[in-house]
Chain A
Amino acid sequence: MEHINDIELLEYISQRLSDVKSRQFQGHMAGCAECRKRCQDAVHVWETLGRWHVDSSGHEIADRIEALAAKKKSDPRESRTKRIPFISSFKAAFRVAAAIIIAVGGGHLLGRYSVSQNTPDSPVSQEGPSYVAALGFEWSNELTWMVLEEEATPGEVNQQ
């Protein structure tokens, strides 16, 4: 068997090693002076550390905790604080919805004046296409919706 590794030695002296493993170690140490010495040193440190006693008996907190817990349970303010995440998420949702409404509403208003829409000054409205007259309508700005596409002037046709 190889020498006992350091962490297993620590678990051995703190009695947290399985019985099988512990017996293996004892068998090894019986024939290995080096590991026997390491084990004695480790046991000595372990026992010395045990001299630091801490007595918590004058500091019991269980009753205080039980009283605090009971108070928290019966205190209505506690349930209000539990609702805070819901309230804040509702507020956030409301803000997002308001932002969307403003953006869409504003976009719609601005869209009324966009270049792609027909405005009162649209150049199409000056004379009107010939098919409007052929249909028996008198051209006016109210008929701009009937414009399918801009007609080429006779001069432009000749050039082509």
Chain B
Amino acid sequence: MTNDAPNDGQLMARLASGDMSALGELARRHQGRVLELAFRTLGAWDLAEDVAQETFLRVLRASNRYQPTAKFTTWLYRIVINLCLDEKRKRAKAGVPLEPAVHEQFSAPNDNPTEKEEMAALVRAAVHALPERQRLAVILHRYNGLNHAEISEATGWTQSAVESLLVRAYANLRGKLAKMKNLLE
């Protein structure tokens, strides 16, 4: 029996022909990963929601030109990444960079955190302490399920650059997490 839901390419084709419900289906299917990627990158839900919304509106605008040459999610994440980096640049230019607030938020769990919350806060802090490109590579690799070739496609960085970023990022994280764990014990 092949009564499967339409795949992403089919939904994009429907959207290109003017069927707006296809955009709703795409958004419902991918909003979780898109929101999480934007939140992990920017560290604030209001910004993540704005980015996610703009991402799907760009999908709508690009639906006529969309060619299913790459995986839909890789293309989608590329839009998210570009919007997140734009947001960071905009804020840096306006003198309101995200980093300090995000870092503060990530390294200060609530007053009586459970062990689980404490560990999550430590991991967030460790990831956010990475240089930007390493951080983005790890987020896409660990949390969005992209392999290094897909990360290369989504970011526009070369495969060798992505490999090097991932190897350095995981090595850095091993060191940071070990230190943080020692501090907790």
Contact = CB atoms under 8 A, between A and B. Distances in A.
Contacts of B18: 73
B60 interface: yes
Contact of A54 (B23, B36, B57, B177): B36
Contact of A51 (B24, B35, B119, B166): B119
Most central of A41, A49, A50 by chain B CB within 10 Å: A49
A45 B174 contact: yes
A55 to B, nearest CB: 9
B167 interface: yes
Given A66-B21, A68-B57, A59 B35 contact: yes
A54 B48 CA distance: 12
Interface stretch (B5-13, B72-80, B92-100, B140-148): B140-148
A29 interface: no
A65 to B, nearest CB: 5
B123 A48 contact: yes
Nearest to A13: B170
B56 A7 contact: no
Interface in B16-50: 18, 20-21, 23-24, 27-28, 31-32, 35-36, 39-40, 45, 48-49
Interface string A66-83: 101110110000000000
B65 interface: no
Given A10-B166, A59-B49, A66 B120 contact: no
Contact of B40 (A54, A61, A62): A54
B116 A51 contact: yes
Given A14-B141, A49-B173, A52-B124, A61 B24 contact: no
A151 interface: no
A71 to B, nearest CB: 10
A6 B21 contact: no
A56 B147 contact: no
Nearest to A53: B120
Contacts of A6: 163, 167
Contacts of B35: 56, 59, 61
A19 interface: no
A7 B148 contact: yes
B120 A52 contact: yes
Given A65-B24, A68-B57, A51 B167 contact: no
Contacts of B127: 49, 52
A69 B20 contact: yes
Interface in A32-56: 41-42, 44-46, 48-54, 56
Contacts of B145: 14
Contacts of A70: 20
Given A49-B143, A69-B56, A73-B20, 12 more contacts: A7-B148, A10-B141, A10-B167, A14-B142, A49-B123, A52-B40, A52-B123, A59-B45, A59-B48, A59-B49, A64-B53, A69-B57
The 6 closest A-B pairs by CB, nearest first: A66-B24, A62-B27, A56-B35, A52-B123, A62-B28, A6-B167
